Amino acid sequence: MGASAAAQAAATAAPAAPAAHERAPLLLQSDFGLQDGSVAALKGVVYAIDPALHVVDITHLIAPFDIQEAAYRLRQAAPFWPAGSVFVSVVDPGVGTPRKSVVMRTKTGQYFVTPDNGTLTFVAQIFGVDEVREIDERTNRRPGSEWSATFHGRDVYVYTGARLAAGVITFEQVGPSRGTDYVSLKIPAAAATGASVKGTIVALDRPYGNLWTNIDTAQVRAAGIKVGDKVRVRIRRGANALWNAEVLFGTTFGSVPVGNPVLYVNSLNQLALALNQGNFAQRYSIEAGPEWSIELSPLK
């Protein structure tokens, strides 16, 4: 038998090689900042589980304790990642308290590992909830961390998320099912009423200070507002009026002179307000949250 024939026979007789293990991307976000070793500790846990995991930082500069911002950053990043991706979000002002730790699988097949404190609000609304499982810390907690109650981001969330992304555990092994139950933030929905549209300032576009709202383009059209129009814009915090001005609805920041305000459609197809080459939120002391409303009325 020639060399080539022998090689062919050996290849035919040998069992098929197992398929390479398919790992999922692991995405991390927190309010830990970058001034100490917390983020490195998270990644050390990941590396110990599987050094081949592809780890991406969404951000670790979420404002401390700001659950709504955590929810929005997931909404901002998740649409661009494939099914199977695992997101770990740790903004956990209730760490160590009876708040639950969960993993949500959305109808898009992505996984979100987080305290159940409202962080899942936007991804649940946008992608739909397939199932939520409560993390069983008897089996899904970093060994040796049982006495520590203040760093669940390291000991529970990234540990569980990395094991899920690496295929060490299945979604069913996370813990008991909660059906589709999760904690949702109470954020007023945007609505067009008559000749105006009212919404909520849901996030700041850091570091530029642009105000991002939950008003979508269909609601803008329903109010009769189109690109090139001058629009009356009112911003309130609760019942307190804080800003009232006429603003151009442009296509981009350069639609107005430097330093002037402009309305535009942001990268998520929702209405936003900015200063051209300026920081709107900083200049006018505007923040984001359920109490921050914005109302637009076309000028006749």
pLDDT of residue 259: 97
What pTM, to 2 d.p., does this model score?
A: 0.89
**213 and 201 in contact (C-beta within 8 Å)?**
yes
144 exposure class (CB count in 10 Å sphere: 0-12, 13-18, 19+): exposed
191-298 CATH choice from 1.10.357.10, 2.40.30.90, 1.20.140.10, 3.20.20.150: 2.40.30.90
What are the residues whose beta carbons fall under 8 Å from the beta carbon of 213, sequence distance 6 or more? 190, 199, 200, 201, 202, 270, 271, 272, 273, 294
**271 and 280 in contact (C-beta within 8 Å)?**
no
pLDDT of residue 104: 98
What are the residues whose beta carbons fall under 8 Å from the beta carbon of 78, sequence distance 6 or more? 85, 87, 110, 112, 123, 127
pLDDT of residue 8: 41
Per-residue pLDDT of the chain (300 residues; tens, 9 = 90+): 444 444 344 333 333 333 345 899 999 999 999 999 999 999 999 999 999 999 999 999 999 999 999 999 999 999 999 999 999 999 999 998 999 999 999 999 999 999 999 999 999 999 999 999 999 999 999 999 999 999 999 999 999 999 999 999 999 999 999 999 999 999 999 998 878 999 999 999 999 999 999 999 999 988 889 999 999 999 999 999 999 999 999 999 999 999 999 999 999 999 999 999 999 999 999 999 999 999 999 886
**CATH architecture type of domain 26-173:** 3-Layer(aba) Sandwich (3.40)
Q: Which long-range contacts (CB under 8 A, 24 or more apart) does 172-176 make?
A: 172/133, 173/139, 173/140, 174/103, 174/133, 174/134, 174/135, 174/136, 174/140, 175/103, 175/133, 175/134, 175/135, 175/136, 175/139, 175/140, 176/133, 176/134, 176/136
Q: List the domain boundaries for the chain.
A: 26-173, 191-298
